[in-house]
């Protein structure tokens, strides 16, 4: 049931974003690598983060929607030595804050996450996720990003990657 609710929320978000978007708002996609740290003082793991987003400036300047998939390939482990196979999917409302006369943009985000697409995190409940990041414009359509996200009740993710605007 919760997966159905998540999928309906994602479809509603995509439909709304598509209807609210205008031609001058950029779609972006990105990929990065990150360190996944368990909150319970275990060993960190490594993971891959894939994201796609769209600006919703016609609704509110700076507002956006972002979808994110995170997957560990070197699993983090808890203090007791148990590995946690992390696979999450989330949808976020983002708010880009441009710093004047700078190539830096701050990006807080809050949204819904399905924290356990595998069996190693204790909860399969749809929950809230939040994070904070920043982008640095390298070229007109290429940005470097750093990001901190709370993925689940046990895992924090620190990611560095690139975004490409379309």
**DSSP line for 22-85:** -TTSPEEEEEEEEEEEETTS---EEEEEEEEEEE-TTTSTTEEEEEEEEEEEE--B-TTS-B--
pLDDT tens per residue, range 77-106: 666 666 677 788 899 999 999 999 999 999
Mean pLDDT of 11-16: 53
If you classify domain 2-12+27-165 with CATH, what class do you get? mainly beta
Handedness of CA 94, 153, 88, 151 (dihedral sign): positive
Q: Which of 54-58, 111-115, 119-123, 158-162 has the highest mean pLDDT?
A: 158-162
**Which three-class secondary structure state does DSSP give residue 9?**
helix
Question: What pLDDT is recorded for position 16?
Answer: 52
Terminus-to-terminus CA distance in the chain, angstroms? 35
What pTM did the predictor assign?
A: 0.77
Q: Considering only residues 126 and 42, tell me which one the structure prediction assigns the higher pLDDT.
A: 126
pLDDT tens per residue, range 47-85: 899 999 999 988 899 999 999 998 888 766 666 666 677
Tokens of 133: 């990041």
pLDDT exceeds 60 at position 118: no
- List the chain domain ranges: 2-12+27-165
Tokens of 154: 């046990």
What's the CA gap between 73 and 56, in Å, rounded?
Answer: 33
What's the CA gap between 30 and 16, in Å, rounded?
Answer: 21
């Amino acid at each position: 049931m919760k997966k159905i609710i998540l999928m309906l929320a994602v479809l509603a978000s995509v439909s709304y974003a598509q209807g609210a978007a205008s031609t001058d708002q950029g779609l972006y996609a990105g990929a990065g690598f990150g360190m996944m740290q368990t909150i319970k003082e275990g060993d960190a793991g490594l993971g891959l983060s894939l994201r796609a987003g769209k600006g919703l400036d016609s609704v509110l300047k700076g507002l956006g929607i972002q979808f994110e998939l995170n997957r560990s390939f070197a699993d983090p482990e808890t203090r007791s030595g148990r590995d946690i196979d992390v696979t999450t999917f989330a949808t976020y409302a983002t708010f880009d804050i441009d710093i004047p006369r700078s190539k830096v943009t701050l990006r807080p985000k809050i949204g819904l996450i399905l924290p356990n697409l595998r069996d190693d995190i204790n909860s399969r409940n749809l929950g809230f996720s939040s994070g904070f990041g920043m982008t640095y414009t390298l070229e007109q359509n290429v940005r470097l990003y750093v990001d901190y996200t709370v993925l689940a009740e046990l895992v924090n993710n620190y990611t560095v990657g690139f975004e490409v605007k379309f």
